[in-house]
Amino acid sequence: MLETDHSKPIYIQIAEWLENEILEGSLSADEKVYSQYQLAEIFNVNPATAGKGLTLLLEKEIVYKKRGLGMFVSSNGHEKLLAERTESILQNQITNLLEEAKRLQIDYPQLLKLIEKAYKQQGGNI
């Protein structure tokens, strides 16, 4: 579940795991999120570390707090995550891909063919 290479702090890995749960539909809008104690048990970490991961999502307004009840997925949490990941992660990967294609002297039509092939291998329809 969490990375074993320790390239990212554990609380960030927990936040990203929860983000993935939201993106994959395991957690829906207005659904209760795991408590910091549940996350601490799942990942075998200190509850404060798990709480720090939840705080990241709270600050990004992916989740909201109901006093005395816990944290819940924001009504637009899924959309915020899609926009954030498209802008940051996917855009960064595309930039890296284009830089590598340029180094390898792969032109635009060749690159599109490679992308289409990979997309189809992942079950996508073009």
Do residues 34 and 42 lie in contact, with contact meaning Cβ atoms separated by under 8 Å? yes
- Using CA atoms, how far apart are residues 31 and 66, in angstroms rounded to an integer? 11
pLDDT, average across residues 73-84: 96
Cα-Cα-Cα-Cα dihedral sign, residues 95, 93, 61, 9 = negative
For residue 7, name the pLDDT band (cuts at 50, 70, 90). Answer: confident
Token pair belonging to 38: 């549940």
Q: What is residue 125's predicted lDDT score, i.e. its pLDDT?
A: 80
For residue 116, name the pLDDT band (cuts at 50, 70, 90). Answer: very high
The architecture of the domain spanning 10-75 is Orthogonal Bundle (1.10)
Residues 10-63: pLDDT tens digits?
A: 999 999 999 999 999 999 999 999 999 999 999 999 999 999 999 999 999 999
- Residue 15 contacts by C-beta under 8 Å, 6 or more apart in sequence? 53, 54, 56, 57
- % pLDDT > 90, the chain: 85
